[in-house]
Structure 1
Amino acid sequence: MKLLFDLFPVILFFLVYKLGDGNQEAAHALAIQYMGGLISGGNVSPAQSPIMLATAVAIVATVLQIIYLRARKRPIDGALWLSLGVIVVMGGATIYFHDENFIKWKPTILYWAFAVALFVSQFGFRQNLMRKLMEKQIKLPDEVWGRVGLAWMVFFAAIGVLNLVMAFVVFAGNTSAWVNFKVFGITAIFFVFFLGQAMMLSKHIQEDA
Structure 2
Amino acid sequence: MKFLFDFFPILLFFIAYKLEGIFVATAVAIAASFLQVGLYWLKHRRFETSHLVTLVLIAVFGGLTLFLQDEAFIKWKPTVINWLFAAVFIGSQYIGKKTIVERMMGTSLTLPDFVWVRLNASWAIFFVALGFANWYVMANFDTDTWVNFKMFGMM
Q: Report the TM-score, using the length of structure 1 for normalisation.
A: 0.71
C-alpha distance in 2, partners of 1:77/1:83?
10
Task: Return the letter of the residue paired with 2:136.
Answer: V
SS at match of 2:47: coil
Largest Rg, 1 or 2: 1
Note the aligned Cα RMSD (angstroms): 1.3
Residue 146 of structure 1, CA deviation? 1.0
- Deviations 1:160-198, CA, capped at 9 Å, x for gaps: 0111011112x1xx10111000110111xxxxxxxxxxx
Q: Which residue pairs with 1:23 in the alignment?
A: none
Deviation at 1:138, TM superposition (A): 3.2
Closer, same or farther: CA 77–117 of 1 in aligned 2, 3 Å: same
Query: Alignment length, in residue pairs?
Result: 155
Distance 2:74 2:98 in 1: 32
Q: Structure 1 residues 73-82 or 151-160, which shifts more?
A: 73-82
**Distance of 1:55 and 1:136 partners within structure 2:** 38
Deviation (angstroms), 1:6: 0.6
| Matched AA of 2:122 | A
- 1:126–1:138 CA distance, 2 compared to 1 (3 A): closer
Q: Relative contact order (alpha carbons < 8 A, sep ≥ 6): 1 or 2 greater? A: 2
Amino acid at match of 2:143: T
Shift of 1:131: 1.5
1:118 Cα deviation after fit? 1.3
SS at match of 1:150: helix
Query: How far off is 1:74 after superposition?
Result: 4.2
Q: What residue ranges of structure 2 are gaps of 5+ in the alignment?
A: none
Matched, 1:136 2:104: no
Tell me which residue corresponds to 2:7.
7
User: What pairs up with 1:42-121 in 2 under 5 angstroms?
Assistant: 50-121=21-92
Q: CA deviation digits over 1:60-86, x for unaligned, max 9?
A: 111111111111134322221111110
1:42 is matched with which residue?
Answer: none
